Amino acid sequence: MARMKFLCDADRCIECNACVTACKNEHEVPWGINRRRVVTLNDGKPGERSVSMACMHCTDAPCAAVCPVNCFYTTADAVVLHSKDICIGCGYCFYACPFGAPQYPKVGNFGSRGKMDKCTYCAGGPEPDLSTIEYEKYGSNRLAEGKLPLCAEMCSTKALLAGDGEMIAEIYKQRVIKRGYGSGAWGWKTAYRETVAI
């Protein structure tokens, strides 16, 4: 089985936000929620880089550990998913997540945060694969169709890579060797406790 990861090659990302838009559209993500976002570092200064970030599907995921109702599970592809039926919207996973991935729709007064929503790696949720109910709660399940996450698939500069960790690390390594530079696999150390050695 593959160990799915994301890798954003910040030297290629042009902050076009197509990944953000593609994700919102593919999954009909509710208003106010962005499963993926692009953060620009050193904006306007020399050395500016943009990084597209969503849930990294961490190894030994902190969100899953802190959840008071244990609603997370990890798929055979190492994708970190959760059940919206069990989630109570307490907000702890956001505090624990190193990448700010979990989000909560506002559903009422006095902090009644709704069920947490985050990137599913286009892999749906606990409901039967490709069912309507799965689509309504979690968005489409491209993995079940044999496809990779849409954000990475349609990235125009191929900055955002999705797929088996070893394969995308290899692709990134080749790029760095060929072009002679690379600012590294952003977030990998924090998410996977390893980085791409070049």
* Binding residue for ligand HEM, selected from 18, 33, 90, 171, defined by CB under 6 A: 90
For tokens 């998913």, the residue is 81
Q: Would you call 187 helix, strand, or coil by DSSP?
A: coil
Q: Please, which residue, 78 or 97, has the CB nearer to other proteins?
A: 97
* Binding residue for ligand SF4, selected from 7, 80, 159, 185, defined by CB under 6 A: 80
* Binding residue for ligand SF4, selected from 8, 10, 51, 93, defined by CB under 6 A: 93
* Binding residue for ligand HEM, selected from 32, 91, 100, 128, defined by CB under 6 A: 91
The answer to whether 72 touches 81, Cβ cutoff 8 Å, is yes
| Residues of the shown chain interacting with other proteins in the complex, contacts defined by CB under 8 A | 10-11, 15, 17, 20, 32, 34, 37-44, 46-51, 53, 62, 65-71, 83, 85-92, 94-100, 110-113, 179-184, 186-187, 189-190
Rounded to 5 degrees, φ, ψ at 147 are -110, 160
CA separation for the pair 92, 180 (Å, rounded): 41
| Cα–Cα separations (whole angstroms), residue 192 to 156, 166, 189 | 26, 12, 6
CA separation for the pair 4, 50 (Å, rounded): 22
Q: Please, which residue, 105 or 184, has the CB nearer to ligand SF4?
A: 105
Residue ranges in contact with ligand HEM by CB under 6 A: 68, 90-91, 111
